Amino acid sequence: MAEEVVVEEFQWTPSARITFHKIVEYLRVNWTEKEVIAFINKTNDLLSNIRRQPEMCRPSMKRKNVRIGIISKHNHLIYHYKPRKKQVEILLFWDPRQNPSKLKY
């Protein structure tokens, strides 16, 4: 089992903020507040787990230290783990139903 390391800082890229808010807005328009809260809670739970074990999610095949965490079957979190800085950079929220060739991570 991987050694437990505590991530000291999360940084959100502009793309991560935009894609997160797009998902929340989509859920608000097309679903109910219950689904919005569930998505936010699942995201927070995943981030909490990543804080304790930043290498827990599957690695990207394209970039070193980039990992892909599953929030739900329709929402994945793409992040870059910087072990020396004990930092995680949240890169993007991604719907795996999209064309995979468009994902640069």
User: Residue 42's domain spans which residues?
Assistant: 9-98
Encoded tokens for 72: 């739900």
d(CA 50, CA 65): 13
What CATH number is attached to the domain comprising 18?
3.30.2310.20
Q: Is residue 23 part of a domain?
A: yes
**Nearest CA-CA partner of 67 in 105, 12, 10, 13:** 105
Query: What's the pLDDT tens digit per position in 17-64?
Result: 999 999 999 999 999 999 999 999 999 999 999 999 999 999 999 998
Contact between 19 and 11 under an 8 Å Cβ cutoff? The reply is: no
pTM of this structure: 0.89
Evaluate if residue 9 carries a pLDDT over 70.
yes
pLDDT band at 98 (very low <50, low <70, confident <90, very high): confident
Encoded tokens for 70: 């599953």
Q: Is residue 103 part of a domain?
A: no
Beta strands in 1-105 (DSSP E): 9-12, 58-59, 66-72, 75-82, 87-94
Q: Is residue 62 part of a domain?
A: yes
